[in-house]
Structure 1
Amino acid sequence: MTRSQGGSPQPPDRTAVVVGGGLAGITAALELAGAGLRVTLAEARPRLGGLAFSFKRGDLTVDNGQHVFLRCCTAYQWFLDRIAARDLVTVQDRLDVPVVDANTGRTGRLSRAALPVPLHLAASLARYPHLSLRERASVGRAALALRALDLADPALDDVDFGSWLAGRGQSPRTIEALWDLVGVATLNATAARSSLGLAAMVFKTGLLTDPGAADIGWASAPLGDLHDGRARKALDAAGVRTLLRTRTTGIERSADGGWQVALETGPGRGEQLGADIVVLAVPQREAHALLPEGAVQHPEKLLRIGTAPILNVHVIYDRQVLRQPFLAALGSPVQWVFDRTESSGLTGGGQYVAVSQSAVEHEIDLPVADLRDRYLPELERVLPAARGAVVRDVFVTRERTATFAPTPGVGALRPGPVTRAPGLFLAGAWTATGWPATMESAVRSGLHASREALSALGLPVDNRVLEAA
């Protein structure tokens, strides 16, 4: 017990250790520090940001993968404000997605009008050239059925989205040209392999709540500038001690009822930290390895949460081949193509595009030469201006465990933030946030974990961000 200058007793310092420096861990550390705790954040990598990061390739700054968010991602936008990075992102004034069919060369658009839900999408759908008139009409009926679903109903998690869509009159072409166009990018799985609960959450929240909910946002600077650079400054300003290249090797109860966290800070070097609060913000398998015995009732469930890969093929052309910030493709292995020229720092003419490929288990380990042979001709089909352009460079980034797999039944495997061990909490996009594995889910998990921790300490909790969402 310490005493103030006036002699009145003050409560002892409360301490916390956050294991993991991704968005979940950064969020938890900022919230705990903001409530007055002395916080240490330990990250095994030499940088912050988890799986949303940048690296140098010659003179270019390359994002490991294309990450986007929607206007309805209120927690992630709160995070951007918290780390003072709002100026480093772009958000569409209105949803507008060019969609090109590589087989026909026709381009349609998924866009919204300034009308109430669901009329805001009606005009775009009526003109959508990739579906027949009957298929377009069937989409409206399925959307109304989707809107009527109760997201709190756990039975939705046991149904696959593809079967549900087929049962509401959605043809294979409709699923491919509309539902999977959006769903694969947000869920990292096709409708047939996605939980109806997670799919309904994505489509209801993004398309059937607020007219602007699905407006797309993206980083207009390298992801590392946001999730490492600005985040590090915010953590420093909050008084968080940030340890990089620091691996957590054990978490045990201490004699005083708190926690001892064992850290490996370098070859032959280690540190033991005492803490009142520990937030474990690492992927599910790492969390399983670190959890003390009895902390989770059924720890084997964490190992049953599958993972799904994301592949990015990066191409540098000698001229401009894409005139929009991004586009989606049909009738081709290519899913989404993004212009990364300005954010990468490419100079001297030319254009840098990134092909973002989700749910590609069959391609994730292919050699670069095979991927080059597969995707360069496809880009010429999707982007006619690429025909005849000189390819200056092609390289590939792979995240083999980019997200958790949103398969039916996964909801019953995702734990909440509170464990059976007082003072120990879980965070990560894979925990039970109600969202698929997105930056939004990661931030929400950090908010949930930190607020449960503060509540356990009897400290005031501000839930306005989560309630607003």
Structure 2
Amino acid sequence: MTEGTQAAGPGANTPGRPGRPTAVVVGGGLAGITAALALADAGVRVTLLEGRPRLGGLAFSFRRGALTVDNGQHVYLRCCTAYRWFLDRIEGAALAPLQDRLDVPVLDAAGHEGRRLGRIGRTALPVPLHLAKSLATYPHLSLAERARVGRAALALKSLDLADPALDAEDFGGWLARHGQSERAIEALWDLVGVATLNAVAGDASLALAAMVFKTGLLSDQGAADIGWARVPLGELHDRLARKALDSAGVRTELRTRVTSVSPYENGRWSVSVPGERIDADTVVLAVPQRETHDLLPAGALDAPGRLLEIGTAPILNVHVVYDRTVLRRPFFAAIGSPVQWVFDRTEASGLTDGQYLALSQSAAQDEIDAPVAELRERYLPELRRLLPGTRGAEVRDFFVTRERTATFAPTPGVGRLRPGARTRAPGLWLAGSWTATGWPATMEGAVRSGVSAARAALDTLGRPRDHLLGLFEEAA
């Protein structure tokens, strides 16, 4: 084919009207969906290409018999302003509401006299006093440990997130130097950090950990209030997202794998899929870092090999269906147990008899490839220890889902490897939670990256971006 021609077919891009720029977004996860919507809302004619048969990336749902199952439990916080914008944009905010006020039940199963319940919550007092009552009454730490936690929190609050030295240091070492015991790290710092960073403190960049705790717990009294989908994730990230894309005029093609992205001499771009080529004025690559590396044209990044140095970290999800109700609260966290976080997904899954619990196990390097039978033997007894109601209940189903590359690994030094949205190739932009958003690999980070890529592209195309102003500061 010659420049300016396109093969007919479902992925072919209809030529834009004079003066109306065109864009191709490669990847239909949250980053790609966001970029496509932000571009289309500014009048760009957008084609979104996704290799899977659905949208949503790694936050999706599937059917298992009569159940609708999320591949893993995903939550967000009130401080996740970009993801909240995304929910509003797809008209899904009411389906993923926030808590009125932070409240996390924490069960300790390590004691010989049975489980012990504590809570992490907040009051209406200003920061940092909003957490004082919760910390003062937290039963899983001694009085001295609680006092040292308070001092460490104040030291953390004083850190400058713009200091590049933070990225080279590990969070566990910083905590130890600030008087945090192994028990305090397990019962508090890792309780939050493992779920948000997908790494224990000793394996996590201080820069990312400080960002999580400063933004989530020490910026605003309501910043850490938790939200989660009361419907299957596919309802939000696939059905409603596709509806929003259609309404915005985005051409969305599923089961369409991009094989190459290359520039023309006139500054336009060619995106190849099997059997055809799509031409565009600008391209956003919103796929994982290794796939991005393989698609990048020569010279697009100064050191493209750095993308391959960004490691990945797994998340294991354990799903248990009981014949009766065994948990009376929507979720809880556990310490003194292999169990990390447990959510009631009964209503969302469509189950009408019994109860369906989903266990989210982050930083699961040691278990991600374990046989289902072995995981069953490990986790069912732990649930019996934590939840007395399970002791007489029948397990109707037990299965696991595994995301071996669920997130990028937030190791010390990863910050220098994460590229921004801009490349050296005019008209080519990068998006994905692994890019330089300042956030760990979360839904918030993914949406922020999509907005940053779209904002940069709109600047270059000379299109309005007023609809994105004030959403958040652009990532580097």
Q: 1:331 aligns with which of 330, 333, 336?
A: 336
User: Where does residue 260 of structure 2 map in the other structure?
Assistant: 250
User: Where does residue 3 of structure 2 map in the other structure?
Assistant: none
Matches within 5 A, 1:13-412: 13-104=20-111, 105-264=115-274, 270-347=275-352, 349-412=353-416
Deviations 1:318-361 (A, max 9, x none): 111111110000110000000000000001x2100001000010
Q: Distance in 2 between matches of 1:367 and 1:442?
A: 31
Deviations 1:390-428 (A, max 9, x none): 100000000000000000000000000000000000000
The total of aligned residue pairs comes to 454
Aligned-residue sequence identity (percent) comes to 73
For 2:195, give the aligned amino acid: A
TM-fit CA distance, 1:256 = 2.8
For 1:437, give the aligned amino acid: A
Q: Distance in 1 between matches of 2:46 and 2:247?
A: 12
Report the RMSD for the aligned CA atoms in angstroms.
1.1
Determine helix, strand or coil for the equivalent of 1:247.
coil
TM-fit CA distance, 1:92 = 0.4
Deviations 1:273-314 (A, max 9, x none): 001110000000000000001101100000000000000000
Matched, 1:439 2:446: no
TM-fit CA distance, 1:461 = 2.3
Change (3 A) 1:276 1:468: closer
Determine helix, strand or coil for the equivalent of 1:465.
coil
Matches within 5 A, 1:410-421: 410-421=414-425
Matched, 1:464 2:470: yes
Q: Distance in 2 between matches of 1:385 and 1:160?
A: 40
For 1:230, give the aligned amino acid: L
Deviates more, 1:383-392 or 1:355-364: 383-392
Determine helix, strand or coil for the equivalent of 1:378.
helix
User: Where does residue 4 of structure 1 map in the other structure?
Assistant: none
Deviations 1:236-256 (A, max 9, x none): 000000000000000111243
Deviates more, 1:248-257 or 1:13-22: 248-257
Deviates more, 1:70-79 or 1:318-327: 318-327
Q: Distance in 2 between matches of 1:167 and 1:255?
A: 55
Determine helix, strand or coil for the equivalent of 2:429.
strand
> Are 2:267 and 2:426, in contact at CA under 8 Å, matched by a contact in 1?
no
Q: Distance in 2 between matches of 1:38 and 1:103?
A: 57
Deviates more, 1:445-454 or 1:375-384: 375-384
Determine helix, strand or coil for the equivalent of 2:84.
helix
Q: 1:453 aligns with which of 445, 451, 457?
A: 457
For 1:59, give the aligned amino acid: A
Deviations 1:439-458 (A, max 9, x none): 00000000000000000112
Q: Distance in 2 between matches of 1:367 and 1:93?
A: 39
Q: Distance in 1 between matches of 2:125 and 2:387?
A: 32
For 1:139, give the aligned amino acid: V
What 5-or-longer segments of structure 1 have no aligned partner?
Answer: 1-9, 265-269
Q: Distance in 2 between matches of 1:468 and 1:101?
A: 41
Change (3 A) 1:444 1:50: same
Q: Distance in 1 between matches of 2:125 and 2:315?
A: 35
TM-fit CA distance, 1:50 = 0.2
For 2:313, give the aligned amino acid: A
Deviations 1:48-94 (A, max 9, x none): 00000000001100000000000000000000000111121121000
TM-fit CA distance, 1:137 = 0.3
- The TM-score normalised by the length of structure 1 is 0.96
TM-fit CA distance, 1:11 = 4.9
Question: Post-superposition, which runs of at least 4 consecutive aligned residues in structure 1 deviate over 3 A?
Answer: none
Q: Distance in 1 between matches of 2:332 and 2:72?
A: 16
Q: Distance in 1 between matches of 2:371 and 2:330?
A: 28
Matched, 1:426 2:423: no
Q: Distance in 1 between matches of 2:77 and 2:372?
A: 31
> Are 2:317 and 2:360, in contact at CA under 8 Å, matched by a contact in 1?
yes
Q: Distance in 1 between matches of 2:264 and 2:471?
A: 34
TM-fit CA distance, 1:263 = 1.1
Deviations 1:198-242 (A, max 9, x none): 000000000001000000000000000000000000000000000
User: Where does residue 4 of structure 2 map in the other structure?
Assistant: none
Q: Distance in 2 between matches of 1:388 and 1:288?
A: 52
> Are 2:105 and 2:120, in contact at CA under 8 Å, matched by a contact in 1?
yes
TM-fit CA distance, 1:468 = 11
Deviates more, 1:319-328 or 1:220-229: 319-328
Q: Distance in 2 between matches of 1:214 and 1:273?
A: 43
